[in-house]
Amino acid sequence: MSYKFVILAVILFLFATCLLYSRVAFCQTAFETALNKKIDSLFNAGVTKGNHRVLFPNDAAGSIMTPSGFGGYGTAIFGGVGGIYPQVYSSKPDLAMSGGFCVGNPFKAVNFVAIVNMMDVHKFQDFSYSFILSRIIFTGSSISIGGIQLFPNINQTDFPHATFYIAYSHAVQTTPSKSEGASALTYTIGMGNGRFLLKSGADMITGKGKHGTAVFGNVSYEIIKHLNLNAEWTGLNLAFSAGVRPAKVPVSFGIGVTNLTKYSADKPGMIFSIGYPLSLTR
């Protein structure tokens, strides 16, 4: 049996298992960016400072195209799928799948996340790997460093350059969410190379230049319980999205539109992400 089909089977197993048994809401952002959010287990940790409970990001997705400074908490496995329609400089859709695990306490040390990505779902190929290390540093704040789509097959990938980043996220303590222990307003600022800096060959051919800003960020605000509106700058373009976690359903949805400016790409595209987790920490 080909190793590619073994990897695919593992991803599908994680995805199906998380769908059936998930308890907390992790979600990998579309196109292998990062774990979007740490939700229920942070709330359950009961973190307090003085007489006040520390607020963390709420339970709906706060971004699709950009990483968060918040990683995971405890031990969990997860699976996710994301996509865009249409692809840039194409009329076809694009789909990606991922699966992985996290382990570690970011309050006492660090949380480590390992991810396997499959960027060509149709052909069961173009595998790569990602990682995230995260640490809670201040009240309602976390920092993460990560690598995205590492060790790809250079004969299959559409982006052979390694991407590394650092991100800082903060859950604003003066804007409580309708979910206990959460903030309604969260933002991220980060910097990276690779996908946050380098434009595509088609961008260069059409005169859009070679480099983006390398700086990315997002801001997320809860308009009603379990529903966030998000704005993101990917380093190459602007995106808007909505993150939804249906009440009592431990699954994270994100839907939106990206490439809204002429800074890169040739047209806007609709984006989505779905994530299911299984917490192994009880």
Sign of the dihedral through C-alpha 10, 16, 21, 27: positive
Which one is predicted more confidently, 122 or 83?
83
Q: How far apart are CA 84 and CA 62, in angstroms?
A: 18
Measure the CA–CA gap between 73 and 38, rounded to whole angstroms: 7
Residue 12 pLDDT: 45
pLDDT of residue 223: 96
Residue 54, domain CATH: 2.40.160.40
Q: pLDDT for 170-215, tens place per residue?
A: 999 999 999 888 999 999 999 999 999 999 999 999 999 999 999 9
Amino acid letter for position 218: N
Q: For the residues 107-136, what does the mean pLDDT come to?
A: 91
Is 31's pLDDT higher than 50?
no
H or E element at residue 44: helix 40-44
Average pLDDT of every residue of the chain: 83
The pLDDT assigned to 250 comes to: 74
Q: Write down the number of H helices and E strands in the chain.
A: 3, 16
- Where does 147-255 have alpha helices with state H? 201-205
pLDDT confidence band for 45 (50 / 70 / 90): very low
Considering only CA atoms, which of 59, 61, 101, 96 is closest in space to residue 78? Answer: 101
Q: Which residue has the tokens 């249906």?
A: 246
Q: Which residue has the tokens 């990062």?
A: 34
Based on the structure, what is the number of domains in the chain? 1
Q: Is the pLDDT of residue 37 over 60?
A: no
DSSP helix/strand/coil, 62: coil
Predicted pLDDT at 47: 66
For residue 13, pLDDT over 60 is answered with: no
Residue 8 has pLDDT above 70, yes or no: no
User: Over 50: is that where the pLDDT of 36 sits?
Assistant: no
- Amino acid in position 120: D
pLDDT score, position 281: 60
- pTM of the full structure: 0.83
User: Is 175:183 a contact under the CB 8 Å cutoff?
Assistant: yes
**Phi/psi-derived region of residue 11, left when phi > 0, alpha when psi is between -120 and 50, beta in every other case:** alpha
Model confidence at 2, pLDDT cuts 50, 70, 90, reads: low
Average pLDDT, integer, range 239-265 = 91
Q: Which of 60, 275, 64, 70 is nearest to 178 (CA)?
A: 60
Q: What pLDDT is stored for residue 22 in this prediction?
A: 33
Determine the structural domain holding residue 53 and report its residue range.
Answer: 3-279
Half-sphere exposure of 131 (CA within 13 A, CB side): 8
pLDDT digits (tens, 9 = 90+) for 59-110: 899 999 999 999 888 898 888 899 999 999 999 998 889 999 999 999 999 9
**131-149: average pLDDT:** 95
Res. 114: pLDDT tops 90? yes
User: Confidence class of residue 17 from pLDDT cuts 50, 70 and 90?
Assistant: very low
